[in-house]
Structure 1
Amino acid sequence: MSGPTRPAPNGITTLQTSIARHRRDVQPIAGVVLSPGSAERHRIQEILRRAGHTIFSTGDSEDALDLYADEQPTLFMIVADEGQDADVQDAVDALKQLRVLRAGWRKEVKIMVIGDGVPGEFVDLRLGPGVTAEALLTSVETLFRRSRESATMHTETQGSDVQASHEHLADIAASLGVDFAAEYVRCSLSDIQRQARMLEVELFRKNPSAIRSSLHAIQGLALNVDATELNTSCREWRAKTDDELLHSTVLIAQSIWNMLPSARERAKQALSKLGHGVDV
């Protein structure tokens, strides 16, 4: 169902090789796949199940959200690959509702989109229509490798953060292409700005828990674009006591916004090292 694959020298297909690597590198996860097109939905589901994951799929956005609430997945995938406006709109509506659910969800959930027409807000990874089985598995590996790095970030030194950031972008460029890595960086920069605006709101409300949550989001996104100074600053602010946070709201906002231009420059430098000269 996943289409023809190239034979490896020993007769094993590249898909079989990809599945074996994937099972070795990625722990089994639970996921929900929303796709209006039944053929594509079943294809994606079959690929991920063969790779060892528990996958629930549906063509209805309301059913997908029910599955999300009931099964508590770590991956939510929207496949808007049929080229029909109504299907894409269903995916957009589901994503809007998912943002609300995700905001109050304790377990980290990755949102992945395949296809065109779905907005990029709060999307962790995006792939073009008709993605191959091998590229799909590589993308999931990249997504959950990043998740593991973020989970251990608080115990790492700045030097190891720099290395992880370089390796993360290099992984994406090697697996999915430099152009894809550039778009990934652009989306991350956009998400950083969006999170900075959300942080301003929480600073005004003087809610320490929400402030730390926004700082944590910016901290993780900063590594995506090699902005290690921003990453370190967010980590240090998060370590402050509630009183220290509430007495530093203006300083926090100023420091974050002042670092955004340098974050963009760091992103450009990182892409330049990968051979991409397009401005971000």
Structure 2
Amino acid sequence: MTRVVTLVAIAATLAACAGDSPSISSDEAAPIVERLTASPTPQRWNFSYQPDSASPYVACLNGLDEVSGSIDVNVGMLRLAPERDAPALIVTGTSLLIAEPNQPNSWLEIPLGPSGDESRLVGLFGEALAGYIVTGVKAPDLKTTVLAAIDIATSVDTTPAPFGLPGDAIEITINPDRYLDELAAGGVTVTDEDRNRIPTITAVVDPLGRVTGLVVDPPAAGDDAAVVEHRDRYVITATYDQLEPLELPDDSSRTRIDLDIAGYPRPDASCTLGS
């Protein structure tokens, strides 16, 4: 499993091990965690994934593009849009749909196997998009992810909200042994890099108990400034209000093809300096 696919899959892995209630919090963090726990689990939300790179353009060229999306659990649909010159994608429980740029309301449909065929997806779509295609409609909401992280934490403390995100922030320090155990249980081949880069997670919770932002921050791999600037930290933001409804395209608008002939624009040919 590649580095970014592993990082995107952390959310699903942590969510799978969530307990009934968070186990650790400081006195200051406790009311924030209680508000989060008491809030309804969202069924629909919009999100944005942003790698925190010193050069977004270089990150995009390497398949770490920014991705925005919408998910509706009840409809069973995840819609993805990379921040580059490439068409929108829809992921269902069984298929990947690619919008045909020159034919409005037309989609190419590719069947997805149970494993998501990660290596082929990474080669065609880049690591960030492939990570979301692999998790698909099973991608957990941020509330579930944060509570799962708290469940395997050694400490939970308050911290200033990063990046101007609205709400109260908590910093979650993960227990290394439990984290690595959950990665292995989720099918991830644990490497020495994983063992040396246990992430810290910062979550921002709004007054309604909804997670508006999540920062996953592995420690730098070395003292070199270039390594620090291009580490695997990323930010996910989410919104829950005034969402447009999602509808699956009709069968009549789909043309079934094989993954190998999808012809999706590669990152090195579709990234722009403004991305």
Interval of TM-score (by shorter of Structure 1 and Structure 2): under 0.3
Q: Which has the higher contact order (CA 8 A, sep 6+)?
A: 2
Q: What TM-score, normalized to structure 1?
A: 0.25
Indicate the structure with greater helix content.
Answer: 1
Q: Which has the higher strand share?
A: 2
Structure label with greater radius of gyration: 1
TM-score (norm 2): 0.25
